[in-house]
Chain A
């Protein structure tokens, strides 16, 4: 898939989180966005997810520009799967009903078809034993896997994952990363904001470094980590790979 930003600016008050960003990336499997906190990664992902609009500039996904009206953005959001850091699931519904809800209410499946589809994705991620549990009874890792299952069940064109493991302990992180690796093998394109450098290096086609209101560098994962092109990237990688 292909994403393109043309002179995108997004400011919150005086803080220009993204400042006149132009960028183009074409990849088959995974685009990883890395960078320091507050550097604009999540803002960029929210723009790509159609949850937010740029103040100026254009965003193109596979050659089509995102429109600005809430109605057209809603239609766009229905074609993609987005997963946040935490609290994706609706706490009053079971894991199963969380997956079924968008299928029935948004995508017009019958209850039986939706249940069958939900059953299939929960089974694929070894979650079927937890289908009837509410999110409060699941571990953090299980919750994120259900959230990914919900996003995948609508058969999205691609997935957007915003630091899906940052609220988890190492064991649960591994269990969620396994699922993401599985999605990669399914051939579903993924744009992933992450702090897991090892995972980015191993499974991303392209890695983009987002900092100081812009995309400083975007390169194939191997080149990015072994031979970073900009001093900012080098400094960032040195700092986080030190320990």
Chain B
């Protein structure tokens, strides 16, 4: 059974890896089938609601895409503001990042929607939800980007200045390309979190994917058949992001 152990000094052969993966897949499927065989029945009922799922999934994709762009803008903005010499700007960024990172998303969604948006009469669920999600994710991206900028050595700034680049050119041509390469893996992880976190918007009634599954569940009373596609739909979004990250990690590496 030595081939089941993958050690650095004695790697396990490729066939053993493939066989193990397939064997485990069969085993776990059998276990799941055994557990759920008694309760699984009515896929037909849920199939009737496929349009609800599709709509929900599309909304989740839309929310994620817009929030991805917005949170990047907030994150890069806050990271730059935090490095600013102008104190009001710097402290605003510190306050934003530290407060948001210290609060649960559930609180931000509830308070942002009922406490703030409602009060000022903004009742458009979708944009409010996207804004809250973007502010939340942006705070984490700000820290990733800040760490990335700080990891670029002083010699790079010196060289850029010696050449005569302006500060804006230095960021655009020298710093950000290096930050991007170094932060792509953590950023992709953050984007994957963003997709999953969008599920919390269901509590304020944004009709995204989780909300759709809830609806199907309450209409059909078939919990398992309503929630299993929910999980599958999220994996359909997050797994490609994760695979893409892995391939990026291999590709963008350059020796410095």
Using CB atoms and an 8 Å cutoff, list the residues of chain A in contact with chain B: 49, 51, 74-75, 77-78, 82, 84, 86-92, 101-102, 105-106, 134-137, 150, 154
Q: Is the CB of A105 within 8 A of B158?
A: no
What residues of B have a CB within 8 angstroms of the CB of A134 in the complex?
254-255
Q: Is the CB of A106 within 8 A of B164?
A: yes
**Contact pattern, B 220-250, Cβ under 8 Å of A = 1, otherwise 0:** 0000000000000000000000000000000
Q: Is the CB of A92 within 8 A of B177?
A: yes
Q: Is the CB of B163 within 8 A of A51?
A: no
Tell me the smallest distance from the CB of A102 to a CB of chain B, in Å.
4
Q: Is the CB of B173 within 8 A of A105?
A: yes
Tell me the smallest distance from the CB of B140 to a CB of chain A, in Å.
24
Q: Is the CB of A77 within 8 A of B163?
A: yes
Within 8 Å by CB of B161, from A77, A87, A89, A105, lies: A77
Q: How many residues of B contact A (CB 8 A)?
A: 20
What residues of B have a CB within 8 angstroms of the CB of A106 in the complex?
163-165, 169
Closest to B167 in A: A70
Known A-B contacts A86-B155, A87-B155; the reply to A51 vs B161 at CB < 8 A is yes
Q: Is the CB of B178 within 8 A of A92?
A: yes
Separation of A88 and B161 alpha carbons in the complex (Å): 11
Q: Is the CB of A92 within 8 A of B159?
A: no
Q: Is the CB of B155 within 8 A of A92?
A: no
Q: Is the CB of A91 within 8 A of B256?
A: yes
Separation of A87 and B174 alpha carbons in the complex (Å): 13
Separation of A87 and B159 alpha carbons in the complex (Å): 8
Most buried by A among B155, B156, B164, B254: B164
What residues of A have a CB within 8 angstroms of the CB of B153 in the complex?
87
Q: Is the CB of B255 within 8 A of A88?
A: no
Closest to B159 in A: A88
**Interface residues in B143-164 (C-beta closer than 8 Å to A):** 153, 155-156, 158-159, 161-164
Within 8 Å by CB of B156, from A90, A105, A150, A154, lies: A90
Chosen A-B contacts, 19 in total, with CB atoms closer than 8 Å, are A51-B158, A51-B162, A74-B161, A74-B164, A77-B161, A78-B164, A82-B162, A84-B159, A84-B162, A87-B156, A90-B173, A92-B181, A92-B254, A101-B173, A102-B165, A105-B169, A135-B256, A150-B163, A154-B163
What residues of B have a CB within 8 angstroms of the CB of A90 in the complex?
156, 159, 173-174, 178
Q: Is the CB of B165 within 8 A of A105?
A: yes
Tell me the smallest distance from the CB of A115 to a CB of chain B, in Å.
17
- Asked if B37 is at the interface (CB within 8 A of a chain A CB), the reply is no
Separation of A102 and B63 alpha carbons in the complex (Å): 41
What residues of A have a CB within 8 angstroms of the CB of B158 in the complex?
51, 84
Tell me the smallest distance from the CB of A100 to a CB of chain B, in Å.
11
Q: Is the CB of B163 within 8 A of A101?
A: yes
Q: Is the CB of B164 within 8 A of A137?
A: no
Q: Is the CB of A102 within 8 A of B255?
A: no
Closest to B176 in A: A92
Separation of A61 and B256 alpha carbons in the complex (Å): 35
Known A-B contacts A92-B254, A136-B254; the reply to A74 vs B166 at CB < 8 A is yes
Q: Is the CB of B162 within 8 A of A49?
A: yes
Tell me the smallest distance from the CB of B43 to a CB of chain A, in Å.
51
Within 8 Å by CB of A77, from B162, B178, B255, lies: B162
Known A-B contacts A51-B162, A77-B162, A90-B174; the reply to A136 vs B156 at CB < 8 A is no
